[in-house]
Structure 1
Amino acid sequence: MSSQYRTGSRGSAKAKVIALVGAGALLLTGCTAEAKRGWLPNVERDTTNHTGAIQDLWVHSWIAVIIIGVMTWGLMLWCVVAYRRRKTDTGYPRQLSYNLPLEIFYTAIPLVLVLVFFSFNNTVEKSINAPVDSEVVVDVRAKQWSWDFNYNYEGQKKYFAGEQAHLNTDGSAGVEETLPTLYLPAGKSVTLELNSRDVIHSFWVPAFLQKLDMIPGKTNYIYLTPQVEGTYAGKCAELCGEYHSEMLFNVEVVNDAEFKAQLAKMEDGHIGEEYDRQPNKVNSVVVEHGHEEGGK
């Protein structure tokens, strides 16, 4: 046997091994806690008042694109089989410069699909972003690389100023209990006012299925009602500098009594834009409150 055949055989065997390993790894990911629900969002429907609607949009979109994909691949395979070259064929097949009905079809159908997807997405987005007169207002201020939370509840103004979290020296996690914590009362409507003290950040609590950018000089809003008590992980979802990966926080959804007890432990007042980083004071240090420009 020539060397080229032996090389081809070895290459084919290697490709099969790689394919089997890849398929095995893909199947094993289904055993992890993060992927326990497969292609469904790994979030309960009632975590907030919006998670159910967001899940429905996600799942229905997947169903629609799967159906469209199957139909598209079916038509492609049908064309391959129906119009394949037969043994009795000679020369080239008859050439067509255009087919008006077909061109109208493959232009109109995608346009209808886009409009339908846009309609459903716009309906859900408008319902989620509709302003409400919330019982709790939290001014969330992102900073390199931590978070400040200012609460306004029943006339009380309280604040919590977070410190930057650090990973262990070996690079592993280990700061869960020391992360800045955002407390929210279950069953009460909440407005999160999202602001940045320095650069663009992004507020993301995966369990809430909502994420929104935080832009210097602009306030964005998230309206929601937490419905399930528990601890949820939060993070910055926008690359914002050297320690972006450590810009983490926790969300504690608690009952009203515990929420009031946590407020009582916080400082009175509001840490607002007076501690935002100014363009001409990027490297300055604020002596008052003993923290660098950009947050306490």
Structure 2
Amino acid sequence: MKYSATVLRRIGGFITVAGLASLLAGCDVGETFDGFGWPQGGISQQSEKMYDLWIASVVAALAVGFFVWGLIFWCVVRYRKRGTDLPVQTRFNLPIEVLYTVLPFLVVSVLFYYTAVIQTNVNQVSANPNVTVEVVAFKWNWQFNYRSGPGEAAKTEASVTGTSSLIPLLVVPTGRTILFEEHSKDVIHSFWVPELLFKRDVFPGSTRNEFQVTIEEEGRYVGRCAELCGTYHSMMNFELVSVSPEKFEQYLAALKSGKTQPEAMEAIGFTGDKAYAVTTEPFETKRDSKAANS
């Protein structure tokens, strides 16, 4: 049975269009396909931009894949062996060679452009953020200093320090630009809140890493150290608490007045166990006499 080139082209085109249509079905392609491996549930504007870039890149890659697979199957059917005669031998085809040289370059250029734009946006830091938090990492806990502004010359207005029996809470407002300035007192640590879809290393010495986010959802999210920093690295947790700007101001005022972290949380309505971390809990350090003797 013989197929005309027109019929085969139509079949190939139909398969390609049908595949892309099923791929793009629904309001959110990423949600339909579980993010194509990218974690969902980002809570900041920056995480949404990175998520959109990933989804667009995967869809573009699949579109190219469907096109190539369509050409392969079309060649398999159209140019299959039909007898003993040797097919026409084409030494070169200049238009096709130019096409498969230029087209990949264009695809890569477009992906590179949008990657550079998103990366620049994610790493952008404003000169006057609404909130500046100095993140100080040490073995094996965190200190969060609420500063009067960016830069080392700014003053610390309030501070929260974690202990082996108290998980530190990093309370921040939603809808505001938050600048994190990071440095370590000893070794390299890494500041990571999974829902931010972003982490950055915390270095000792004069290096001060910084990044900025705008969180859009209220909630409580576990934070971790993502750099192997020693014996109790796995116990170096904290909790990010995003609240309304009004509650954040009340919380900050409570800290400034001398109240403890739990007391400041109670001042904004988090009473009882909710005044402490709910996403993680202090770990036993196993430093009792039995462990030492054994």
Q: Same fold (TM over 0.5)?
A: yes
Name the SS for the 2:191 alignment partner.
strand
Name the SS for the 1:60 alignment partner.
helix
Q: CA deviation at 1:251?
A: 0.3
Is 2:118 the partner of 1:127?
A: no
Q: CA deviation at 1:37?
A: 7.7
Deviations along 1:140-163, one digit per CA (max 9) or x if unpaired, are: 123343322222148653332323
What amino acid sits opposite 2:97 in the alignment? E
What amino acid sits opposite 1:54 in the alignment? M
Counterpart in the other structure of 2:172: 184
- TM-score in terms of structure 2 length: 0.62
CA contact (8 A) 1:149 1:161 kept: yes
Task: Report matched runs for 1:81-120 at 5 Å.
Answer: 81-86=77-82, 88-89=83-84, 98-120=92-114
Q: CA deviation at 1:110?
A: 1.8
Distance 1:245 1:48 in 2: 25
Q: 1:58 to 1:83 in 2, by over 3 A?
A: same
Q: 1:134 to 1:70 in 2, by over 3 A?
A: same
Counterpart in the other structure of 1:195: 183
Alignment RMSD (CA, Å): 3.1
Distance 2:97 2:233 in 1: 49
Task: Report matched runs for 1:123-272 at 5 Å.
Answer: 123-132=117-126, 133-153=128-148, 156-163=156-163, 178-217=166-205, 218-254=207-243, 255-256=247-248, 257-262=250-255, 264-265=258-259
Deviates more, 1:95-104 or 1:216-225: 95-104
What amino acid sits opposite 1:52 in the alignment? E
Q: What 5-or-longer segments of structure 2 have no aligned partner?
A: 1-30, 150-154, 262-294
- TM-score in terms of structure 1 length: 0.61
Deviations along 1:215-246, one digit per CA (max 9) or x if unpaired, are: 33422211123332210122233344454433
Counterpart in the other structure of 2:70: 74
Q: CA deviation at 1:117?
A: 1.1
Higher relative contact order (CA closer than 8 Å, sequence separation 6+): 1
CA contact (8 A) 1:164 1:247 kept: no
Q: CA deviation at 1:184?
A: 1.1
What amino acid sits opposite 2:124 in the alignment? A
What amino acid sits opposite 1:204 in the alignment? W
Deviations along 1:82-101, one digit per CA (max 9) or x if unpaired, are: 33334x1367x666665443
Counterpart in the other structure of 1:42: 40
User: Aligned pairs, how many?
Assistant: 217
Distance 2:232 2:92 in 1: 57
CA contact (8 A) 2:145 2:156 kept: no
